[in-house]
Chains A and B, each alone.
Chain A
Amino acid sequence: NAGVTQTPKFRVLKTGQSMTLLCAQDMNHEYMYWYRQDPGMGLRLIHYSVGEGTTAKGEVPDGYNVSRLKKQNFLLGLESAAPSQTSVYFCASSSVADDLHTYEQYFGPGTRLTVT
């Protein structure tokens, strides 16, 4: 049981390049999330998904796209990277009860992205 995994762990991009971050979870969780964490800013939600085939915007969605074609995977795409997207990106997943009460989130180890 690997929990939540993220690839890659590190990446350096040049401005304007594109890339996709992959998140995978093996806990059969319904909900998945992408966050970015910057010094002094805390964790900020980029996009999230409440189930396979569904996605929604979080607090800071601009410049990112996501897809959830399979329940266990949640992809985060940067179409045209900018220096402002230099950050640590965390993926998380959680289960949900019948009354939509969400339980605690489990996080992946993070992806450190630098855009030059």
Chain B
Amino acid sequence: RKEVEQDPGPFNVPEGATVAFNCTYSNSASQSFFWYRQDCRKEPKLLMSVYSSGNEDGRFTAQLNRASQYISLLIRDSKLSDSATYLCVVNMNRDDKIIFGKGTRLHILP
């Protein structure tokens, strides 16, 4: 099993729809979890951290399921500007163990 695994997509979703991604991780000792967004030919930028209790930021909701070792990202009322690649990041809080997933590509269709 890969350390961090994401469906590469692309997800083609009509504007206004709800879309969800999952990301699985293999190491149960993982401590911190993040979702990053990366636009084409740009650097990754933090979208949100993922907390055990789940957290919400506007249209975005992140969940962590430690028992099944996955994190999820839900985007409601999707906008054209949400088109990007979403990277899952798992951090074991050992400095050499920050693992990036390969990303899920999202295309929001007008």
Complex Cα distance, B42 from A108, in Å, reads 9
Q: Does B65 contact A (CB under 8 A)?
A: no
Q: Does B57 contact A (CB under 8 A)?
A: no
Task: Report how many residues on chain B are interfacial, defined by Cβ distance under 8 Å.
Answer: 21
The answer on a CB contact under 8 Å between B100 and A43 is: yes
Complex Cα distance, B96 from A50, in Å, reads 10
B97 → A minimal CB distance (Å): 9
The answer on a CB contact under 8 Å between B87 and A43 is: yes
Pick the contact of A101 from B31, B34, B103 — CB < 8 Å? Answer: B31
Q: Does B98 contact A (CB under 8 A)?
A: yes
A73 → B minimal CB distance (Å): 18
Give the residue name and chain of the B residue nearest to A100 (CB): B93
Q: Does B49 contact A (CB under 8 A)?
A: yes
A100 → B minimal CB distance (Å): 6
Chain A, 75-109, contact with B by CB distance < 8 Å: what is the 0/1 string? 00000000000000010000000001110111111
The answer on a CB contact under 8 Å between B91 and A108 is: no
Complex Cα distance, B89 from A51, in Å, reads 22
The answer on a CB contact under 8 Å between B93 and A101 is: yes
Chain A residues proximal to chain B, CB less than 8 Å: 31, 33, 35, 40-43, 45, 48, 50, 56-58, 90, 100-102, 104-110
